[in-house]
Amino acid sequence: MTDTLFGKIIRREIPATIVYEDDEVLGFNDIAPQAPVHVLFVPKNEVIATLDDVQPGQAHLIGKLALAAAAYARQQGFAQDGYRIVMNCREHAGQTVFHIHLHLLAGAPLGRFGTPAG
Ligand code: 5GP
């Protein structure tokens, strides 16, 4: 596996608070949470730098990430209140870790999104 920060978390080489795991997806708390619940869901077995690099044969991974987030929301009891999932792609979205991941944000009403920075 190409070495990334999230690869190290997947291999348990650096610590993280892991809150979800199945055969293909790991979920762990973001180190700098932007909402009361902020979990990152990453594919465990494939490293892809950005959403733009996902090939058609890898499309199922995106669904796995989204369904893992939805399952976690149901299990934690906030699915009915609602939540947001986000994938940042490259510079204008502020992507900082180049190992695709899906953010799950929840736990309080969330502000709107998509406004230009500054
Ligand atoms: P991005 O900005 O690439 O969409 O998201 C990367 C996320 O990884 C950020 O929200 C950031 O707070 C989080 N992050 C960066 N370093 C670490 C770390 O060492 N551990 C954990 N758990 N999250 C991290």
User: Does residue 115 belong to any structural domain of this protein?
Assistant: no
Residue 111 belongs to a domain: no
Residue 101 designated active-site: yes
- For the question of whether the overall pTM of this predicted structure is more than 0.85, the answer is yes
Ligand 1 atom 21, closest CA: 31
Distance from the CA of 103 to the center of ligand 1, in angstroms?
9
Q: Which residue, by CA, sits nearest to atom 12 of ligand 1?
A: 32
Measured CA to CA, the distance from residue 19 to residue 55 in angstroms comes to 28
Q: What is the pLDDT of residue 116?
A: 84
Ligand 1 centroid from CA 97, angstroms: 7
Residue 23 maps to a domain: yes
Helix ranges (H only) for 24-94 are 59-76
DSSP secondary structure string for all residues of 40-55: EEEESS---SSGGG--
Question: Domain count of the chain?
Answer: 1
* Residue 63: inside a domain: yes
Q: Tell whether 113 is covered by a domain.
A: no
Ligand 1 pocket list (CB less than 6 A): 5, 16, 28-32, 40, 88, 94-97
Mean pLDDT of 65-86: 98
CATH of the domain at 21: 3.30.428.10
7: how many CB neighbours lie within 10 A of its CB?
Answer: 16
Q: How would you class 39 by CB atoms within 10 Å of its CB: exposed for 0-12, middle for 13-18, buried for 19 or more?
A: buried
Express each pLDDT in 1-45 by its tens digit. 568 999 999 999 999 999 999 999 999 999 999 999 999 999 999
The domain of 34 spans 5-106
Q: Is 10 within a domain?
A: yes
Nearest to 83 by CA among 110, 101, 57: 110
